[in-house]
């Protein structure tokens, strides 16, 4: 499921993150991928060891926690701490599929997360840079995504995708992965569509007798499919 979630960040949160990133120390983004990924990746990232990355990541997670649309779509079980990247001067990331399992933490605290959903949170307005579209390929073709600052796109981590070269300005974004309670993308889509229908019916006809049964169907499907 490819989904655009608007206004994840407030204007003040966005301004604070941008100010911090403007003064940040960036490193070569190829340090965080394997040999094959390094052949097609040209960007910069905040180092995983950066205190700023941890601070800004907590701000992004706090914004996600208060966003009901994100929770309904992703049904998150675990979220990899958000990372931050910058594309400029022709920087790009060729077609690739995200790794299926991501390491979280270090040493005895190290664990692993299955990447079900990939997320990109745009931090620049589209007119601030040329290029930089996130291109996601699925059975319906290729979709170009270039969202307003503060908006989020979520899509299956199994998708082939790339970032087009940035030929003017700089493209800043936060990106992260989600292990969902519902592993199958088709199941998540059904739950999302059912949830939307329940919410719409609640708004249009609050006392409709079908609301109880529809809500029960939603939770029984979630009970059947959820992994916790």
Q: What is the 3-state secondary structure (H, E, C) of 54-82?
A: HHHHHHHHHHHHCCHHHHHHHCEEEECCC
118, 194: one domain: no
pLDDT of residue 72: 97
In the predicted model, what is the mean pLDDT of residues 16-39? 84
148, 165, 180 - which closes a domain: 180
In the predicted model, what is the mean pLDDT of residues 139-165? 96
Given a cut of 70, is residue 39 above it in pLDDT? Answer: yes
122, 195: one domain: no
Instruction: Find, among 29, 178, 179, 173, the residue nearest to 94 by Cα.
Output: 29
- Mean pLDDT check: name the lowest of 16-30, 101-115, 175-189: 101-115
The whole-angstrom distance between residue 75's C-alpha and the CA centroid of its chain comes to: 13
Three-state secondary structure call for residue 184: coil
Range of the domain at 159: 3-180
User: pLDDT of 102-118, one tens digit each?
Assistant: 998 877 788 999 999 99
Number of domains present in the structure of the chain: 2
Compute the mean pLDDT over every residue in the chain, rounded to the nearest whole number. Answer: 95
* Tokens describing residue 71: 């929770």
46, 83: one domain: yes
| CATH for 124 | 2.60.120.620
Name the more confident of 6 and 33: 6
In the predicted model, what is the mean pLDDT of residues 196-213? 96
pLDDT of residue 30: 78
- CB neighbourhood size of 31 (10 A): 11
52, 143: one domain: yes
118, 155: one domain: yes
| CATH for 210 | 4.10.860
127, 203: one domain: no
197, 112: one domain: no
203, 100: one domain: no
Three-state secondary structure call for residue 133: coil
pLDDT of residue 106: 78
Give CA–CA dist 57/197, Å, rounded.
32
87, 194: one domain: no
Residues with Cβ within 8 Å of 207's Cβ and at least 6 positions away in sequence, in order, are none
Name the more confident of 190 and 32: 190
pLDDT of residue 33: 61
Instruction: Find, among 50, 135, 154, the residue nearest to 95 by Cα.
Output: 135
User: pLDDT of 50-68, one tens digit each?
Assistant: 999 999 999 999 999 999 9
56, 128: one domain: yes
* Tokens describing residue 17: 């993150």
In DSSP notation, 179-218 reads EESS--HHHHHHHHHHHHHHHHHHHH-TT-THHHHHHHHH
Residue percentage of the chain with pLDDT more than 90: 90
26, 67: one domain: yes
Upper half-sphere CA count for residue 92 (Cβ side, 13 Å):
17
57, 147: one domain: yes
pLDDT of residue 105: 82
Buried b or exposed e, range 174-212, using 16+ CB within 10 angstroms: bbbbbbbbbeebebbebbbebbeebeeeeeeeeeeeeee
pLDDT of residue 139: 86
């Amino acid at each position: 499921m490819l989904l655009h979630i608007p206004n994840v960040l407030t204007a003040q949160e966005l301004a604070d993150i941008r100010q911090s990133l403007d003064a940040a120390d960036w490193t070569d983004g190829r340090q965080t991928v394997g040999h094959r990924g390094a052949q097609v990746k040209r960007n910069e990232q905040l180092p995983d060891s950066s205190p700023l990355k941890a601070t800004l990541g907590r701000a992004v997670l706090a914004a996600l926690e208060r966003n009901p649309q994100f929770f309904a779509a992703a049904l998150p079980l675990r979220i990899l701490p958000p990372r931050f990247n910058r594309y400029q001067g022709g920087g790009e990331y060729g077609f690739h599929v995200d790794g299926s399992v991501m390491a979280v933490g270090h040493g005895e605290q190290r664990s692993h997360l299955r990447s079900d959903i990939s997320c990109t949170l745009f931090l620049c307005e589209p007119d601030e840079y040329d290029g930089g579209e996130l291109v996601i390929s699925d059975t319906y073709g290729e979709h170009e995504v270039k969202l307003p600052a503060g908006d989020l796109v979520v899509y299956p981590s199994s998708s082939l995708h790339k970032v087009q070269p940035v030929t003017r300005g700089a493209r800043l974004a936060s990106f992260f992965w989600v292990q969902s309670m519902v592993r199958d993308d088709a199941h998540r889509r059904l739950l999302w569509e059912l949830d939307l229908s329940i919410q719409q019916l609640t708004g249009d006809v609050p006392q409709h007798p079908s609301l109880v049964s529809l809500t029960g169907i939603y939770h029984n499907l979630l009970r059947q499919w959820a992994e916790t």
